[in-house]
Amino acid sequence: MNIASIRERKGSGQKITMLTCYDYSFAKILDHVGIDMLLVGDSLGMVLLGYDSTVPVTLEDIIHHAKAVRRGTKDALVVGDMPFMTYQVSPQEAIRNAGRLMKEGGCDAVKLEGGTNAFNTISSLVKAGVPVVGHIGLTPQTASSLGGYKVQGKDLDSANRIVEDAMAVEEAGAFALVLECIPAPLASFITDHISIPTIGIGAGPGCDGQVLVTHDLLGMFEGFTPSFVKRYANLLPLIKDALRSFINEVSDGTFPDKGHSFHLDEEIVKNLKWGK
Ligand code: KIV
């Protein structure tokens, strides 16, 4: 996948699939099954690092995980999230930090949150040669100013503000746009009018693609899971069962058995010496 092939999906009838990915093992699996875009999302702050928001995540955190994802990816497009305060201070700082995500982290593109307020930043990045994915609606880095993790754009004024955000991101030159936690008809309206692909998360079926947090989709995360997440598997009980079996078998001596041990000729065993 590349930027052009993502853009070409718009109106082609073929939906874009995007999932979060934070490490080499998952990158290999997601890439192998044909996920189009892997997002090294700042959700790793909650899912991997145990923070209660994405705010503490650093550029170094994303670079560290992006490097591993890059090593495990052959076909998918790798997108690195720009953490809180790595792109807000000035367009120059945003360019420097996005450059590090691409040069050190191996990302093909970056994602950042914001609409009209991010217009200058996105257009400066695009002019500097950085492919950008926008992110509007519920923007987790500033969720507290939006009244928490809530559906956005439910009344006419706020819905129209989200439409203006979408127009700004498109005009600034982003090649795709994440729409998070907005009513499905609003996401469909934006998708029908905008020239770049929309990728929804909690934004209904009308978007050009869908993104989810992989650990939510697989049922591997015990923290809060939003109602728009569909669990395609419930791996946590399976993982816990396997771990309890390991504890039990080590305790009662049934692991390791002969099949999981290396053998030594009886003669050698008999002649082993302890000391001189
Ligand atoms: O960091 C993340 O996982 C995201 C998705 C919610 C789109 O930004």
> For residue range 119-152, what is the model confidence (pLDDT) as tens digits?
999 999 999 999 999 999 999 999 888 888 899 9
pLDDT recorded at residue 276: 80
Across the chain, the runs of DSSP E, i.e. the strands, are 16-20, 37-40, 77-81, 109-113, 132-137, 176-180, 198-201, 209-212
pTM for the model: 0.95
Does 70 score more than 90 pLDDT?
Answer: yes
- pLDDT at position 237 is 96
For atom 1 of ligand 1, which residue has the closest CA?
41
Ligand 1 mutation target, pool 180, 199, 229, most atoms within 8 A of CB: 180
CA 267, CA 265: separation in Å to the nearest integer?
Answer: 6
- The answer to whether residue 60 is catalytic is no
- Side chain identity, residue 146: L
Least-confidence region, from 62-71, 96-105, 106-115, 141-150: 141-150
Of the residues 113, 180, 222, 266, only one is catalytic, namely: 180
* CATH T-level topology, domain 3-237: TIM Barrel (3.20.20)
Distance, CA 11 to ligand 1 centroid (Å)?
A: 24
| pLDDT score recorded for residue 179 | 98
177-236: pLDDT as tens digits: 999 999 999 999 999 999 999 999 999 999 999 999 999 999 998 878 889 999 999 999
CA 23 to chain centre: 11
Q: Tokens for 45?
A: 């702050």
